[in-house]
Amino acid sequence: MFVSDGPWAQRQQRRRNGRPLAHNTLYEHGMHVRKHIIPAIGRERICDVDTQMIGDFLDDLAMSNRNRRNVASTLQLIFKEAVRRRIIKAIPLMELPSKKPNILTLEDLRKLFPRDRAELAKVWASGRTSAEPPEARYALAACCAIMFFGGLRLQEARAVSPQQFHQFSSSPL
C-alpha cells in the first residue's frame, strides 16, 4: 500500500493536484507496517481485528505517545483502504494516545521535593550505600529541581550525565 506507484499513493497524488507524497512519508508508513503492525497483528484477518486488539497493540508499543500516534495513523489508513475496497464495513474505534506530555503533577513534585530535609534525603538516597552523605542527596535533589523547574524536557533530563555536573562544578567561571 505504501509504495510510490501503488494505487493508494497514486490516489493521494491525484488528491494533491498531482504532487506526489514525500518519499519519507511512504517510507515511515511502510516501516510502521513492517516493524510494528505485521509482527503484532499481521496474522489476523483484517475483519477480525477489533477495538480491543488495537488498543492492546498500541498500549504494548514501547515508544513515546507521539510515535504511537504515528503507528495508529498508519493503521487507520490501512483500515480506510479496507473500507474503500469493501473488505470491512467500518473502521474499528481507535483511542489514540494522549497528546498531553508526560509531566509531573503537583503531587509528584511534593513527593519528590518534600519540605522536610530528612524526608528529602530519604527520597533522594541512591540506595547504593548507607554511608552516603546527606549533602550528596541534597545536591542530586537540587540538580533535579533545577532541571524540572527550569523547563528541561524529560528526554533532555535523562540525557544529562553526572560527569556534566562535575565538569561544570570543577571549572572556574
**pLDDT, mean of residues 17-34:** 91
In a domain, 60, yes or no: yes
166 has pLDDT over 60: no
Residues 79 and 110 in one domain: no
Residues 51 and 111 in one domain: no
Helices (H), 36-133: 38-41, 51-60, 65-84, 106-112, 117-123
Q: Percentage of residues in the chain with pLDDT exceeding 70?
A: 84
In a domain, 92, yes or no: no
Q: Give the pLDDT score at 173.
A: 45
Residues 61 and 119 in one domain: no
- Residue that terminates a domain, selected from 36, 54, 84: 84
Residue with cell 529541581: 145
Domain count, the chain: 2
* pTM, two decimal places: 0.56
Residues 54 and 120 in one domain: no
In a domain, 99, yes or no: no
CB 83 within 8 A of CB 89: yes
In a domain, 93, yes or no: no
Residues 79 and 128 in one domain: no
CB 155 within 8 A of CB 142: no
In a domain, 144, yes or no: yes
Residue with cell 509531573: 104
- Residue that terminates a domain, selected from 27, 51, 84: 84
Residues 111 and 158 in one domain: yes
Side chain identity at residue 137, one-letter code: R
In a domain, 97, yes or no: no
**pLDDT, mean of residues 59-73:** 89
Residues 74 and 130 in one domain: no
In a domain, 71, yes or no: yes
Range of the domain at 140: 106-170
In a domain, 1, yes or no: no
Higher pLDDT, 110 or 172: 110
Residues 64 and 124 in one domain: no
Helices (H), the chain: 7-15, 23-32, 38-41, 51-60, 65-84, 106-112, 117-123, 134-149, 154-159, 162-170
CB 2 within 8 A of CB 26: yes
**pLDDT, mean of residues 140-145:** 80
